[in-house]
Amino acid sequence: MFFVDTIELEGLGNRSYLAGGERTAVAVDPPRDLDSVLAAAVRRGVRITHVVETHIHNDYVTGGLELARVTGARYLVPAGARVDFTRVPVADGDTVAIDDGLTLAALATPGHTPHHTSYVLRERERAVAAFTGGSLLIGTVGRPDLVEPRLTEHLARAQHASARRLVETLPDETAVLPTHGFGSFCSSAQADGDATTIGEERTANAALTMDVDTFVAELLAGLDDVPAYYAHMGPANAAGPAPVDLTPPAPADAEEIAARLAAGEWVVDLRNRVAFARGHVAGSFNFEAEGKLATYLAWMVPWGKPVTLLAESAEQLATAQRELVRVGIDRPAAAATGGPDRWLRDGESPATFPRSTFAGLAEQEPGSVVVLDVRRDSEREGGWIEGSVHLPIHELHGRLDEIPRGTVWVHCAGGMRAAIAASLLDAAGRDVIAVDDGFEAAGHAGLPLVRPRA
């Protein structure tokens, strides 16, 4: 009997896998923090003999090299990937034994990257699962524009061909187990569902229901913004990531927090947005630990700038550290736990700003306030509040001077990014109100909306 355990990386919208038999197993696209993979192996009572990468990742730092080192496993990486470390190069058709009667075969599926490789798990020659990485996803494919702009259309066409190769090679009952598609910006669209098979994708996936020209045109037209930190992930993975250090950062008292703010460093408050708005250290930014912390902080912080974390508890701090090492923010400069009463110097008062809803915004005199929309371009295309200013959240920090004077009511699609934006505006000395509401409520509140023409 075989098993496949899924290791969720919810903050990044990815999955890793551990698959094997009674004694040995393979890890697929492992995260940089290895303990979740090692714990899964311990629970199964198996030894990890192989670690495989489907591709050189653009959205997170891999743990594959270190996992292979600590377990003694063979590290399989597509032969076409240029890397600076010793590995076992894998070519199309290569097969390795994982356990008795259990094999893993490489299947070249270029498109997400030129060297992308999927792996087919076979039990007694029966294909039971395909680890498709950033190739065939649930209802979609991985985006083809993360390697080199001049290759984008070529890779989009390769995605179409690779998806078809998978369905032509594998039986309908084969489970499709992608790495991307659960919130990752490496996916060209988000997964519609939690599980799928080759047969289900045959009838539902755009790459398998459209001709190549139509598919490529629609795929390229629908590509969303690329997080800025992606530019650093591929090089880090190709160079060979260093082991992680998840020990607690150096503690920061109120004086050090103030000094780091004065030096222009980023002080990040991990508490929920309600608590932050109610009272925080002036100049700090709010990235909720329960939100997409790694994605948005790594996207927005100037790369390499020191980051000090403020957390409610040691547990919250440790979880945040774990998320951040996955995107190359290896060590916070310092950290503090507790709340504003411990983070403020004697005599300092906490900074605050109001929160409201779209109904509250609708009560304002038209033209009396600035309405700031921080959604992405693709989201705004579905409709926006008439007269609103649009600055996507990931561009906001460098464009604050473009926001008109006056009280700023800032909104996104649900409230999390509005809270980040409100904290940036508050730190810049602007009067701000965070709209903590779903955008669908804007129309219900009577706010005038602009809808694009069909």
Question: CA 276 to CA 4: how far, in whole Å?
Answer: 41
User: CB within 8 A of 249, min separation 6: which ones?
Assistant: 309, 317, 321, 331, 332, 333, 334, 335
How high is the pLDDT of residue 397? 95
Q: Which CATH superfamily is domain 355-450 in?
A: Rhodanese-like domain (3.40.250.10)
Beta-bridge partners for 373? 390, 411
State mean pLDDT over 155-162.
Answer: 98
Band of the pLDDT at 194, cuts 50, 70, 90? confident
How high is the pLDDT of residue 113? 97
pLDDT digits (tens, 9 = 90+) for 323-368: 999 999 999 999 999 999 999 999 999 999 999 999 999 999 989 9
Q: Which residue has the tokens 């505006």?
A: 425
Locate all alpha helices (DSSP H) within 77-211, ordered by sequence. Answer: 152-169, 198-204, 206-209
Assess whether pLDDT exceeds 90 at residue 452.
no
Question: CA 23 to CA 41: how far, in whole Å?
Answer: 10
How high is the pLDDT of residue 442? 97
Q: Residue 1: is it exposed, middle or buried by C-beta count within 10 angstroms (0-12/13-18/19+)?
A: exposed
Q: Contacts for 21-25 with beta carbons within 8 Å, 24 or more apart?
A: 21/46, 21/98, 21/99, 21/100, 21/101, 21/102, 22/46, 22/99, 22/100, 23/47, 23/99, 23/100, 24/48, 24/49, 24/98, 24/99, 25/49, 25/50, 25/98, 25/99
How high is the pLDDT of residue 238? 97
Are 154 and 216 spatial neighbours (Cβ–Cβ below 8 Å)? no
Assess whether pLDDT exceeds 80 at residue 88.
yes
Instruction: Say if 254-343 and 355-450 have the same CATH topology.
Output: yes
Which two three-digit tokens encode residue 316?
A: 């919250």
Domain ranges of the chain: 3-239, 254-343, 355-450
Q: CA 128, 129, 135: angle at the middle one, nearest 5?
A: 150
3-state secondary structure of 136: strand
**Of 103, 109, 60, nearest in space to 80 by CA:** 109
3-state secondary structure of 350: coil
How high is the pLDDT of residue 291? 82
**Of 28, 32, 3, 4, nearest in space to 16 by CA:** 28
3-state secondary structure of 250: coil
Assess whether pLDDT exceeds 90 at residue 186.
no
Are 339 and 376 spatial neighbours (Cβ–Cβ below 8 Å)? no
Q: Which 8-state DSSP code applies to residue 273?
A: H
Assess whether pLDDT exceeds 70 at residue 205.
yes
Are 16 and 182 spatial neighbours (Cβ–Cβ below 8 Å)? no
Which two three-digit tokens encode residue 94?
A: 């290569």
Question: CA 76 to CA 328: how far, in whole Å?
Answer: 22
How high is the pLDDT of residue 453? 67
User: Could you give the percent of the chain with pLDDT greater than 70?
Assistant: 99
- pTM of the entire predicted model: 0.94
**Mean pLDDT over all residues of the chain?**
96
Assess whether pLDDT exceeds 60 at residue 444.
yes
User: CB within 8 A of 440, min separation 6: which ones?
Assistant: none
Q: Which CATH superfamily is domain 3-239 in?
A: Ribonuclease Z/Hydroxyacylglutathione hydrolase-like (3.60.15.10)
Q: Which CATH superfamily is domain 254-343 in?
A: Rhodanese-like domain (3.40.250.10)
Assess whether pLDDT exceeds 90 at residue 185.
no
Q: Using CA of residue 326, residue 29, residue 182, residue 6, what is the dihedral sign?
A: negative
State mean pLDDT over 436-451.
Answer: 96
Assess whether pLDDT exceeds 90 at residue 37.
yes
Band of the pLDDT at 191, cuts 50, 70, 90? low
State mean pLDDT over 150-167.
Answer: 98
Question: CA 351 to CA 294: how far, in whole Å?
Answer: 25
Assess whether pLDDT exceeds 70 at residue 86.
yes
pLDDT digits (tens, 9 = 90+) for 127-156: 999 999 999 999 999 999 999 999 999 999
Assess whether pLDDT exceeds 60 at residue 454.
no
Band of the pLDDT at 11, cuts 50, 70, 90? confident
